[in-house]
């Protein structure tokens, strides 16, 4: 911290509301008289190297917005009336404690579902609260098929034994100047548009750095034309949802032409012959017919990727939302595995929490380490979906979202009485079948929402609203791969508290053992940070970040050095010690051990009659740099850049429909219709349209029936459910739903 003319400067890491995204960036907060006045990127931080996104730069408008929630609220009218009264934190905690204990005593802890969204450092706090309360039911409720990163995580864990990420030198303090690093010759970017986004703990501009500094060539797999596709060596503009077929087609080319890394495959993999047999079912000609990608382009892209040394693969959410998301992710994992691009510079490297510090426990394995095997065994007996989907029980200890909302609605096999909703504006954001979620959740007897602004979810459902903090107002920590970071509190706004503070206090009240284990939240942080042989204050003193040391959490070639397996022997952290192209984990869960393709549930092929009625494929959920999911619609600088919910329509499609730039249209199908403003664009295929999700209007009436216009603009009302994936993970139809357009004749109301 330094002082200059009354200004204090706080260095910190981001992972929170405000920026919204999964964070990791280093920022400098300038504070004067206890008020944040400016945010700048920290040029000394190796993650972002001084860069900052529009959402971070607008943080002062976010924090000090007149509509910001700054004290606890209790509903005083009927649900949906929008009538709340301020109460003290003590009153709020007392009320929540009384209600939650009464439900647990009467119906069991499983009768409360803990709902999280994404973006804030919420995974750690909500898992801590749910497990100390005793509930096995943590869920990204509404997100059909848990179609966000979980399919990719499951595929990687079941194939490689660890999680992997594209290597852009993010594990090295000197970054691109480290002599251990090699730029990838080729980067295969699959279902992602990294430059304007920073998804999944990945800074989007790193790919631009590799292109600019290292000359990396791009292969872009994307239904739309993007900034990246326009600069790609090859752009494979596939039909949405056909990713699995394309991946298998590329594997076919690589294996049939002998382009795989034979030495690596023979030494470090098992199941290659079975994979070879499977991919013979997907010759390029067949794959071209399925995907709409020309055969010669499929072959050329496969050859370029396989012969580049090194080559990296970066993927996005579209992989999870393919009909069999886990299988698609498995096939892509096989691409980097059979070409030997694993745990090497510029390839796909093993990504473990930095220093072995856990903040966001992904897997059952991590939760066992935190809460014990006996606790997790008991939880699995009641976790929603664990009896139907072995992967829900054996891999990620979250309640299955589709089955959870159906159980809330039906009360079977046991009733759900309450929901604790944190960082999840699910009615305006993630919930497919939105009105079904709305109607089912209204049946709950008690709902707590933790957020920063009123939104459709708080207005429609909340009995108690608790005001959360931005990253500038909180202490927290982050160890999602690299680097290890802490978030340092710089200011206080109203009575807002961090998610960790809120959940720690509630956990202490609901489980007295918490208070015996940890006197304060900071003590909990320091216990977790002890794995890194450091403390929170020591991390602050060193600039709030630390790169992983040599060992199991730092690349490269750890599989050769015995750093990945518990017994210290060379190999990968799988039962066989090798990359399992034939997955014994999948086999044990009753799933196909090899990747395969499944046609989308709605498509010109699987539902031709529906396609005749609804002849456009809806791609929803594309990311933009100024908005994050359903956040930031009320922030002036950010809303100015995107004032209206737009739909990208090819000019030929618009002409055939009698539409012009700026027209307001309905996007509709059998589930309903929503409003969008036409943007003519060559970025989309004539048989597809593209729109951003998460739209609601903070300037409109909040009370029912309006709910800030959510029923007019929430695109997920058109998304059917439940998901289609046999594993339980993946298959949400957010990018493959069939729709049509109709012009709205009246002016937008």
Beta carbons of 512 and 32 less than 8 angstroms apart: no
Beta carbons of 465 and 495 less than 8 angstroms apart: no
Token output for 40:
């700048």
DSSP codes joined into one string, 697-744: -TTS--STTTGGGHHHH-GGGG---S---TTSS----TTTEEEEEEE-
Does residue 198 register a pLDDT over 90? no
- Measured distance CA(350)–CA(166) in Å, rounded: 9
Does residue 599 register a pLDDT over 90? yes
Cβ atoms within 10 Å of 543's Cβ, excluding its own: 16
For 337-380, how does the pLDDT look when each residue is reduced to its tens digit (9 = 90+)? 999 999 999 999 999 999 999 888 877 788 888 888 888 888 88
Which burial class, exposed, middle or buried, applies to 734 when counting CB atoms under 10 A from its CB (0-12, 13-18, 19+)?
A: buried
pLDDT of 748 reads 45
Residue 160: which of 444, 564, 660, 461 has the closest Cα? 564
pLDDT of 1 reads 47
Which burial class, exposed, middle or buried, applies to 744 when counting CB atoms under 10 A from its CB (0-12, 13-18, 19+)?
A: middle
pLDDT of 2 reads 52
Q: Could you tell me which residues are beta bridge partners of residue 545?
A: 485
- Measured distance CA(506)–CA(450) in Å, rounded: 13
DSSP codes joined into one string, 191-214: S---TT--GGG--THHHHHHHHHH
pLDDT of 388 reads 93
CA–CA distances in Å: residue 509 to residues 97, 496, 506, 513, 747: 7, 19, 5, 9, 53
Length of the chain: 749
Torsion angle of C-alpha atoms 27, 32, 38, 40, degrees rounded to 10:
-30
For 79-138, how does the pLDDT look when each residue is reduced to its tens digit (9 = 90+)? 999 999 999 999 999 999 999 999 999 999 999 999 999 877 899 999 999 999 999 999
Q: Give the pLDDT band (50/70/90) at residue 179.
A: very high
Using omega within 30 degrees of 0 as the cis cutoff, is the peptide bond preceding 136 cis?
no
Beta carbons of 570 and 560 less than 8 angstroms apart: yes
DSSP codes joined into one string, 635-692: -HHHHHHS-S-EEEE-HHHHHHTT--TT-EEEEEETTEEEEEEEEE-TTS-TTEEEE-
Domains of the chain as residue ranges with CATH: 73-146+354-544 (3.40.50.740), 164-350+568-588 (3.40.228.10), 608-743 (2.40.40.20)
Residue 450: which of 489, 506, 511, 502 has the closest Cα? 502
Which burial class, exposed, middle or buried, applies to 384 when counting CB atoms under 10 A from its CB (0-12, 13-18, 19+)?
A: buried
Q: Give the pLDDT band (50/70/90) at residue 749.
A: very low
- Measured distance CA(353)–CA(482) in Å, rounded: 7
Q: Is the dihedral of CA 319, 325, 328, 332 positive or negative?
A: positive
Taking all residues of the chain, what is their mean pLDDT, rounded to a whole number? 95
DSSP codes joined into one string, 509-561: HH-HHHHHH-SSHHHHHHHHHGGGT--HHHHHHTTSEEPPPSSTTS-S-HHHH
Backbone angles phi, psi at 261, to 5 degrees: -85, 95
pLDDT of 746 reads 64
Beta carbons of 141 and 385 less than 8 angstroms apart: no
Does residue 229 register a pLDDT over 90? yes
pLDDT of 374 reads 87
Q: Give the pLDDT band (50/70/90) at residue 444.
A: very high
Beta-strand pair 418-422/234-236:
unpaired
Token output for 643:
């004032």
DSSP codes joined into one string, 570-594: SS-SSTTSSEESS-HHHHHTTS-SS
Strand segments, DSSP code E, in 322-390 are 348-350
- Measured distance CA(630)–CA(192) in Å, rounded: 19
pLDDT of 4 reads 66
pLDDT of 196 reads 82
pLDDT of 209 reads 97
Token output for 429:
């954001």
For 43-87, how does the pLDDT look when each residue is reduced to its tens digit (9 = 90+)? 999 999 999 999 999 999 999 999 999 999 999 999 999 999 999
- Measured distance CA(153)–CA(162) in Å, rounded: 8
pTM for the model stands at 0.96
Helix ranges (H only) for 340-429 are 364-371, 373-382, 390-394, 401-410
For 535-551, how does the pLDDT look when each residue is reduced to its tens digit (9 = 90+)? 999 999 999 999 999 99
Does residue 586 register a pLDDT over 90? yes
For 691-716, how does the pLDDT look when each residue is reduced to its tens digit (9 = 90+)? 999 999 999 999 999 999 999 999 99
CA–CA distances in Å: residue 477 to residues 9, 282, 354, 482, 483: 19, 46, 11, 12, 11
pLDDT of 392 reads 86
CA of residue 401 relative to chain centroid, distance: 15
Q: Which residues lie below 8 Å from residue 137, measured CB to CB, with a gap of 6+? A: 110, 112, 113, 114, 130, 382, 383, 384, 399, 404, 416
């Amino acid at each position: 911290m330094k002082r200059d003319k009354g200004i204090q400067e706080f260095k910190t890491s981001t992972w929170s509301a405000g920026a919204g995204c999964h964070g990791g960036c280093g920022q400098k907060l300038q504070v004067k008289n206890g008020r944040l006045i400016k945010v700048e990127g920290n040029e000394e931080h190796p993650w972002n190297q001084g860069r900052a996104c529009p959402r971070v730069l607008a943080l002062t408008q976010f924090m000090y917005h007149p509509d910001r929630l700054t004290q606890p609220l209790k509903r005083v009218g009927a649900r949906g009336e929008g009538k709340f009264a301020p109460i003290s934190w003590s009153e709020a905690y007392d009320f929540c404690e009384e209600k939650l204990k009464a439900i647990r005593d009467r119906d069991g802890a499983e009768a409360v579902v803990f709902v999280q969204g994404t973006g804030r450092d919420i995974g750690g706090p909500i898992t801590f609260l749910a497990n100390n309360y005793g509930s096995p039911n943590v869920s990204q409720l509404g997100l059909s098929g848990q179609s966000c990163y979980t399919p990719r995580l499951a595929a990687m864990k079941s194939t490689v034994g660890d999680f992997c990420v594209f290597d852009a030198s993010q594990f090295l303090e000197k970054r691109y100047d480290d002599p251990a690093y090699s730029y990838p010759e080729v980067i295969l970017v699959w279902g992602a548009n990294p430059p304007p986004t920073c998804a999944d703990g990945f800074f989007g501009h790193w790919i631009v750095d590799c292109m600019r500094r290292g000359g990396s060539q791009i292969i872009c797999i994307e239904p739309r034309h993007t900034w990246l596709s326009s600069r790609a060596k090859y752009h494979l503009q596939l039909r949405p949802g056909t990713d699995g077929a394309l991946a298998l087609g590329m594997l076919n080319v690589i294996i049939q032409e002998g382009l795989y890394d034979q030495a690596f495959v023979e030494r470090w993999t098992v199941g290659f012959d079975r994979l070879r047999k499977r991919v013979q079912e997907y010759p390029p000609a067949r794959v071209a017919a399925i995907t709409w990608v020309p055969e010669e382009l499929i072959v050329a892209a496969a050859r370029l990727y396989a012969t580049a040394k090194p080559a990296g693969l970066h993927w996005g959410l579209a992989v999870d939302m393919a009909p069999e998301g886990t299988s698609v992710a498995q096939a892509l994992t096989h691409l980097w595995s059979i070409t030997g691009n694993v745990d090497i510079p510029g390839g796909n490297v093993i990504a473990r929490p930095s220093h072995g510090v856990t903040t966001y426990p992904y897997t059952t394995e991590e939760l066992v380490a935190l809460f014990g095997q006996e606790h997790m065994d008991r939880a699995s007996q009641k976790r929603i979906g664990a009896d139907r989907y072995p992967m829900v029980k054996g891999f990620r200890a979250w309640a299955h979202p589709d089955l959870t909302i159906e159980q809330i609605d039906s009360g079977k096999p046991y009733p759900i009485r309450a929901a604790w909703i944190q960082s999840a504006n699910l009615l305006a954001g993630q919930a497919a079948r939105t009105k079904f979620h709305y109607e089912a959740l209204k049946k709950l007897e008690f709902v707590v929402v933790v957020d920063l602004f009123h939104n459709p979810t708080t207005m429609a459902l909340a009995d108690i609203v608790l005001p959360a903090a931005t990253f500038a107002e909180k202490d927290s920590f982050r160890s999602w791969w690299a680097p290890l970071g802490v978030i340092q509190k710089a200011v206080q706004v109203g009575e807002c508290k961090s998610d960790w503070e809120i959940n720690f206090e509630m956990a202490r009240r609901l489980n007295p053992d918490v208070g015996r284990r940890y006197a304060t939240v900071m003590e909990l942080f320091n216990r977790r940070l002890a794995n890194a042989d450091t403390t929170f204050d020591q991390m602050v003193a060193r600039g709030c970040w630390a790169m992983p040391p040599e060992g199991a959490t730092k690349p490269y070639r750890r599989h050769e050095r015995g750093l990945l397996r518990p017994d210290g022997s060379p190999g990968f952290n799988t039962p066989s010690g090798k990359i399992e192209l034939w997955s014994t984990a999948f086999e044990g869960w009753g799933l196909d051990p090899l990747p395969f393709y499944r046609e989308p549930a709605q498509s010109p092929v699987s539902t031709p009659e529906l396609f005749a009625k609804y002849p456009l494929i809806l791609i929803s959920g594309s990311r933009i740099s100024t908005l994050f999911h359903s956040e930031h619609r009320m922030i002036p600088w950010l809303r100015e850049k995107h004032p209206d919910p737009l739909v990208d329509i090819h000019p030929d499609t618009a002409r055939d429909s009698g539409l012009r730039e700026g027209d307001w249209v309905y996007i509709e199908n059998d589930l309903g219709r929503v409003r969008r403003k036409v943007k003519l664009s060559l970025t989309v295929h004539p048989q597809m349209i593209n729109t951003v999700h998460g739209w609601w209007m903070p300037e409109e009436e909040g009370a029912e029936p309006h709910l800030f216009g959510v029923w007019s603009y929430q695109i997920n009302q058109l998304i059917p459910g439940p998901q289609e994936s046999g594993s339980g993970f993946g298959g949400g139809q957010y990018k493959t739903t069939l729709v049509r357009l109709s012009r709205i004749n009246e002016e937008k109301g």
